[in-house]
Amino acid sequence: MAMVALAAHKLRSALTLVGVTVGVFSIILVMTVMRGLQQNIESELSGLGANTFTIEKWPAINFEGPSGWERFRRRKNLSYQHWQALREQATRARSVAAEAPFAMGEVASRFERSNPDVAVNGVTPETFLARNWLVEAGRALLPGDLDGSRNVCVLGNTIMKKLFPQGGALRETVKFSGVNYQIVGYLEPKGGFGGQAQDNFILIPITTGLNRFGGAQWRSLTLYVQTHNQDEMEDTVEQVRGVLRKVRKVPPGEVDDFEISSNDSLIQQFRDLTLAVRVGVAVVSSIALLAAGIGIMNIMLVSVTERTREIGIRRAIGAKKRNILTQFIMEAVVICEVGGLIGVILGVAGGNAGAYYLKLPPVFPVDWAIIGLAICSVVGIVFGTYPAIKAANLDPVESLRYE
């Protein structure tokens, strides 16, 4: 019945739908992208080993805008010496690892050459543990490789498959900008999303990297500290902070000139950041839905006036007030639901298009779709009630006489 009434006033209903659609669309769109972003970040973070925290020059999320950026830029880099100092002095730590991106470019084997998008990262033996990298064949890098700054490497699984389609990578060499590196091992595949590889890299001893590519001004290491267990975390962080402040000569009373973050703290930071976006979306879509609701109310009032005769007829043949009331509320709800459904479909489609563009995994936020539709029902009920009450309270005799 409600659908019949809806179909009978196509244009008018369509215009009203737009408001609801926009409101729901914006909720679903942002929530879809956000969900994708969050899953991505969390999966990337979970790439860290257990009980591990990171030390970086830059914060993962800059809350301070351009001025903050400038402040971070003036900080001293984290250097090889800092890593060594931590290894010696941070006695609570189970291991301290370092990692530095050195270059990106084309890598070649005897058989194949890669696209120029392969990262060459310098690492320490401890990094494998800290990053949850598991060796599939061969071995990881060893302290001896670092001490001798040897030209050896461990391949990520993606690049290994690319360069050695037939297998047999061990003991072969790969060539990067004119230098041959002997392959001592390669890693297990690391799950990537949407075809985006997380292990398109080659790992060389950090010392080899520093010798060859230099400790350029801009290059700051990322340090990973692993603790013995979760309970040790806080104390270890404090000790690491103390050591770093000393070797970096941070005067007492000054804030740290480095960033310490753990999985938990990063996820929390991300959630805090997205909370602001979420609240913003909630406000915007509330306004859209409020406008839509007023539109619905307006249309329903017109509809009640136009259909006074119909109401009179229904009352004459036995409809009670509450029958008329529910009929008109239902119509308002159906209009809202149709608009909401379109909004959900467009929102999920748009959100996933955005996610695809950002190379994020596709998501369907079922909970938000349901919440969106529920909100539509509420809008329909809230704004349909007044017109429905008006309809129900029409006098049967008067409305039958209405021209």
Q: Write out the residues near another protein by the rule CB under 8 A.
A: 4-5, 8, 309-310, 312-323, 396-397, 400
Closer residue to another protein (CB): 215 or 396: 396
Nearest distance in Å: CB 358, another protein: 48
Interatomic CA distance for residues 133 and 127, integer angstroms: 8
Output the smallest distance, CB 318 to another protein, in A: 2
Q: Residue 367 CB, nearest distance to another protein (Å)?
A: 35
Q: Residue 11 Cβ, how far from another protein at the closest point, in Å? A: 16
Q: Which of 120, 129, 125, 161 is nearest to 142 (CA)?
A: 125
Nearer to another protein, 279 or 302 (CB): 302
The residue to which tokens 């009352």 are assigned: 315
Query: Which one, 313 or 378, has the nearer CB to another protein?
Result: 313
CB of 341 to another protein, least distance (A): 23
By C-beta, is 305 or 377 nearer to another protein?
Answer: 305
* In contact, 229 and 51? CB cutoff 8 Å: yes
Q: How far is the CB of 388 from another protein (least distance, A)?
A: 16
Cβ atoms of residues 285 and 24 within 8 Å: yes
Residue among 319 and 349 whose Cβ is closer to another protein: 319
Q: What percent of the chain is helix, strand and coil (3-state, nearest 5)?
A: 55, 15, 30
Q: Shortest gap between Cβ of 332 and another protein (angstroms)? A: 18
Phi-psi domain of 149 (left: phi exceeds 0; alpha: psi -120 through 50; beta: other): left
Q: What angle do CA 320, 322, 327 make, to 5 degrees?
A: 105
Residue 159 to residue 150: CA distance in whole angstroms:
21
- Under a CB-based contact definition with an 8 Å cutoff, are residues 361 and 192 in contact? no
Q: How far is the CB of 357 from another protein (least distance, A)?
A: 45
SS3 202: strand
Q: How far is the CB of 366 from another protein (least distance, A)?
A: 33
Alpha-carbon gap, residue 247 to 206, rounded angstroms: 20
Q: Rounded CA gap, 337 and 345, in Å? A: 12
- Specify the residue, 64 or 398, whose C-beta has the smaller distance to another protein: 398
| Minimal distance, residue 323 CB to another protein, in Å | 6
Minimal distance, residue 349 CB to another protein, in Å: 33
Cα–Cα distances in Å, from 294 out to 20, 291, 336? 11, 5, 12
Which of residues 276 and 317 has its CB atom nearest to another protein in the complex? Answer: 317
Minimum CB distance to another protein smaller for 87 or for 314: 314
Contacts 24+ apart (CB under 8 A), 261-264: 261/53, 261/54, 261/56, 261/59, 261/60, 262/52, 262/53, 262/54, 262/233, 263/45, 263/46, 263/48, 263/52
Beta-carbon neighbour count of residue 238 at 10 Å?
A: 12
- Diameter of the chain by CA atoms? 102
Looking at residue 228, the DSSP 8-state letter turns out to be S
Pick the closer one to another protein by CB: 325 or 363. Answer: 325
Nearer to another protein, 1 or 255 (CB): 1
Give the closest residue to 107 by CA, choosing from 165, 157, 178: 178
Contact 94, 226 (CB under 8 A): yes
The C-alpha angle with vertex 321 and arms to 315 and 322, in degrees rounded to 5, equals 130
Between 46 and 323, CB nearer to another protein: 323
